[in-house]
Structure formats: structure tokens, C-alpha cells
Amino acid sequence: MIRLVGILVGLGFTFVVLLTFGVGAYTAATEPAAETAEHAFHLTPKEDVHFSFEGPVGRWDVAQLQRGYKVYKEVCSACHSLKQVAFRNLADLGYSEAQVKAEAAAWRVPGIDPNTGEATTRPGLPTDAFPSPYPNSVAAAAANNNAIPPDLSLMTKARHEGSHYVYSLLTGYQEPSAELAERFPDSLPGPGLHHNPYFANLNLAMAPPLTSEGQVTFDDGTVATVDQMAQDVAAFLTWTAEPKLVKRKQTGWPVLGFLLFATLLAWFAKKSVWANAKRRED
């Protein structure tokens, strides 16, 4: 009797689950989803900017990468880490060994006092990674309206159309539109937030980091407009995320050529083998 009751209870539970699933599926299929501010006003990354590394034969613009590094160093590094990149990797951007050592030494990285064993900071070495500007996540959140600034090492790989996303975000700060205020007043930025339609939920804690022309002085004399700085740092962050991007493309062409040659060779071999077989049949 107990076993029968258990079976009936199990069947009843299964029926309820299936019924709930069926009702939910029918509702989702027949009733349109409520429109949200994110769906209505979120913008896809701008596509009107061309980067030198795009396309099948793209190349790094080393001068642009160096400018982007300077933007990161003088603007972005105040809040964002780059913990997947070591100072020695800057040699790939055309810096000499002496310049890499000088750049590393200009940064302070976590260390240990050899006399007391206490945590301290020391000048960076080429083997060190770019340090975080905050000692821990609690300090990072406290300094940024409870929003922990993300590490930027792989940011362009973590976002759709990563290079264009970074560029669009940096140049996309604006006042909320009147239509947004009228239709979705709850989606207006609150205290400490800033409106940016290229961000997923339209508002983010990061204030506009690039605010005026000349905020950074480029060594090659390029005029540092907001648009130029945004392009350069987007290119630099693409390099940090995919340093082998261009080399992979360069390797791909010989591989495709070999595969094409191997395919033709196999086709001619097949023709030769079957030609001999047909002659024997005849």
C-alpha cells in the first residue's frame, strides 16, 4: 500500500511539473515579452571605425599600440588592472629592452620587505604583470560606487565586437534621451551612475574616462582627440587579449595553401588510380 501511494505521489508530481512546463511554454509562445529599456535603447557597437588588424591580411599598427598603451597607463590604469600582461610583453610593441625595464620600474608592484616580512611595494621588473590599482576587491568597490572595475586584459574577447565595443563605450557617454525618460523613467541613471547606451543596462558606474582633447600627449605628435584616444586604447586592448592575432593570420595563409595543394594532389592521385583500374577492366 505504501509503495502504491509513493508511485501515485510521484506520478502526481510529474504531472504537475509537465503541466507547469506546458503552460509556461504556451505563454511564452503566444504572449509577447514586455519591452524593456535595455531592449529598446541599447545600441550595438559602432562599425564606422576601421582598425588595421581587421580582415584576413590585417597588421598591427605599432604606433597606434604604443599610443594606446600610453592612454591605458595615464588614464585607465587608475582603476583597471591588466594582470594577464607582463611588462616584458611590451617588447612586442617595439620597445627596446632598456625601455621595457624603465617602464616596469615606473610602476609599483606588490612585494615583501626582506627585513620585516611585511607586505610592501617595489619598482616593477620586466617579469612582473601590470598591477591592480587597489589592494583588494573591497577597496576597489568602495572607491567606485560599489562597482569593481574589471580587469582589461581580455576585455575585447569577452565582449561581442570587442574592439568596436570598447571604442563605442568610451565615446558613447551622453544624456538620456527624452523618449527614455518618458517611457522608462526607472531606467534613468541614479546617483553615481552615467548613461551610456552601448553598455548592457544603459547605466554604469564608470565616469567618462576620456573627456577632452590633449588629455594625453602622444610621443609621435598625433593629436590626442577623444576619438583618437578611444581608437588607440581599443587597439591596445585588442593586442593584450590576442597578442598572436596577426601571427595567426599570417600562419593561416600558408596552411590554406598547403591544404589546397594537398586537395589537388589527392584529386589527381584519385584520377590516376581509377584511370588504371578502368584500363584493366577494359
State the average pLDDT over residues 128-152. Answer: 92
**Are the CB atoms for 145 and 193 separated by under 8 Å?**
yes
Residues 61 and 182 in one domain: yes
Average pLDDT, the chain: 89
- Rounded to 10 deg, the angle between the 162-171 and 226-241 helix axes is 150
Is residue 21 included in any domain, yes or no? no
pTM: 0.82
CB 199 within 8 Å of CB 37: no
DSSP output for the chain? -HHHHHHHHHHHHHHHHHHHHHHHHHHHHHSPPPP-HHHHH--PPP-----TT-STT----HHHHHHHHHHHHHTGGGT--EEEEEGGGGGGGT--HHHHHHHHHTSEEEEE-TTT--EEEEE--TTSEEPPSSSSHHHHHHHTTT-PPPP-TTHHHHSTTHHHHHHHHHH---PPPHHHHHH-GGGS--TT-EE-TTSTTSEESS--S--STTSS--TT-----HHHHHHHHHHHHHHHH-TTHHHHHHHHHHHHHHHHHHHHHHHHHHHHHHHHHHHHH-
Give percent above pLDDT 90 in the chain: 62
Is 80 marked as binding a ligand? yes
Residue 49 within a domain = yes
d(CA 130, CA 9): 60
pLDDT in tens, 193-229: 999 999 999 999 999 999 999 999 999 999 999 999 9
Terminal-residue alpha carbon distance, the chain: 80
Range 130-156 average pLDDT: 93
**Res 130 pLDDT > 80:** yes
Q: Which pLDDT does position 118 carry in this prediction?
A: 84
pLDDT digits (tens, 9 = 90+) for 17-35: 887 877 777 666 666 666 7
The verdict on 170 and 234 lying in the same domain is: yes
User: C-alpha grid cell for residue 252?
Assistant: 593561416
Whole-number pLDDT of residue 13: 79
User: Residue 118: inside a domain, yes or no?
Assistant: no
Per residue in 155-167, pLDDT tens?
999 999 999 999 9
Same domain assignment for residues 183 and 261: no
Q: Which domain holds residue 271?
A: 251-277
Tell me, yes or no, whether 58 and 141 share the same domain. yes
Q: State whether 147 and 222 are in the same domain.
A: yes
pLDDT tens, residue by residue, 236-278: 999 999 999 999 988 988 888 889 989 988 888 888 777 766 6
Is 206 marked as a binding-site residue?
yes
151 contacts: CB under 8 Å, gap ≥ 6 = 80, 81, 82, 83, 84, 132
Question: What does the pLDDT read at residue 279?
Answer: 65
Same-domain status, 237 and 255: no
Convert the pLDDT of each residue in 51-85 to its tens digit: 999 998 899 999 999 999 999 999 999 999 999 99
Q: Check whether residue 228 and residue 206 sit in a common domain.
A: yes
pLDDT at 116: 83
Q: Based on the domain organization, do 50 and 151 belong to the same domain?
A: yes
If you search the block for the grid coordinates 507547469, which residue do you land on? 20
Same domain (yes/no): 70, 154: yes
Number of domains in the chain: 2
Mark whether 171 and 261 lie in a shared domain.
Answer: no
| Grid cell digits, residue 52 | 588595421
